[in-house]
Amino acid sequence: MNVTARVSLVVLAMFSLAACSTTIVDTAPTTTLVPPTTVTPSGTATELFDQLQTTIGELSKAISDSDRAMAKVKLAEIEEIWKVLKPQIAERGDQFIQDMQRIIDLAISSIERNRPADADKSLRFLSLVIETL
């Protein structure tokens, strides 16, 4: 076989094998992040306690369903409700505020330390507080 035939054969092989190469088509969907909207809770102390109880219950459910994203959203809602509720119940005394802070801290630790039982304790203790009001 002469040199010209070999070169022709090599060129033909290169073009034939190039057709077998992997082609990557980038069809990944693009998404636009939308910032979450935060609604400041409002109402009387009784209404805020009810909202807090409902939200802690939803936090507990989200944790038991292993839905960490929803659990974090519910924790943010709990913290917002607490910011509004705390000044409204200040006249009840420092001990009451500290007891409520412990309930909120249990809800926080249920997410930060991955302790689902803390969310349940928080809900149970809050229910006891609401009964005494």
Structure confidence by residue, pLDDT tens digits, 65-92: 999 999 999 999 999 999 999 999 999 9
What homologous superfamily does CATH list for 45-132? Flagellar protein FliS (1.20.120.340)
Reading the block at residue 1, the tokens are 């076989």
Give percent of the chain above pLDDT 70.
Answer: 78
| DSSP letter, residue 80 | H
Instruction: For 22-53, write each residue's pLDDT tens digit.
Output: 666 656 555 565 555 667 899 999 999 999 99
User: CA 96, 82, 88 angle in degrees (round to 5)?
Assistant: 60
3-state class of 96 per DSSP? helix
The domain spans of the chain are 45-132
Predicted model pTM: 0.70
